[in-house]
């Protein structure tokens, strides 16, 4: 999904802020009716205002706006192919953030997985672009 977004936003020259607006409107147009049809408004009304505010900030602003804007900016600066590789860092960052935040230490298998993902990302980001020639 992120790769398609990267390629299309680059091809159509969509600025990052416009990309955020487009994604937000389309997501709301698709998911709001689905949520209302399956769960109704009862689930939302049952939540405390603090929970709703927290979800609005985390899901709406951080995940919905900031992440999409940052990814769109990465497409502008790095190109679609290189930017599309960046979401592979999500498990790495989440695992490393889990150490100080949750006190969770990764297992040896998880460390090996992080090393493989990081190495793969480094290969994709540091290899020469074949389209640029010699």
Domain ranges of the chain: 1-78, 81-134
In angstroms, the CA 69 to CA 63 distance is: 10
Single out the residue of 34, 129, 37, 23 nearest to residue 81, CA to CA.
129
User: SS3 of 106, please?
Assistant: coil
pLDDT band at 133 (very low <50, low <70, confident <90, very high): low
State the burial class of residue 109 (Cβ atoms within 10 Å of its Cβ: 0-12, 13-18, 19+). Answer: exposed
pLDDT digits (tens, 9 = 90+) for 69-101: 999 899 889 888 888 888 888 999 999 999 999
pLDDT at 13: 87
């Amino acid at each position: 999904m992120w790769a398609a977004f990267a390629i299309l936003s680059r091809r159509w020259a969509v600025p990052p802020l416009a990309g955020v607006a487009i994604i937000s409107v389309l997501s709301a147009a698709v998911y709001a009716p689905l949520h209302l049809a399956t769960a109704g408004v009862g689930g939302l009304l049952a939540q405390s205002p603090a929970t709703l505010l927290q979800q609005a900030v985390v899901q709406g602003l951080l995940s919905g706006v900031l992440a999409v804007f940052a990814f769109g900016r990465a497409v502008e600066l790095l190109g679609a192919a290189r930017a599309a590789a960046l979401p592979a860092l999500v498990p790495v960052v989440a695992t490393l953030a889990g150490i100080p935040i949750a006190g969770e230490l990764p297992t040896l298998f998880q460390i090996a997985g992080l090393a493989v993902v990081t190495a793969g990302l480094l290969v994709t980001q540091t290899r020469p672009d074949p389209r640029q020639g010699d």
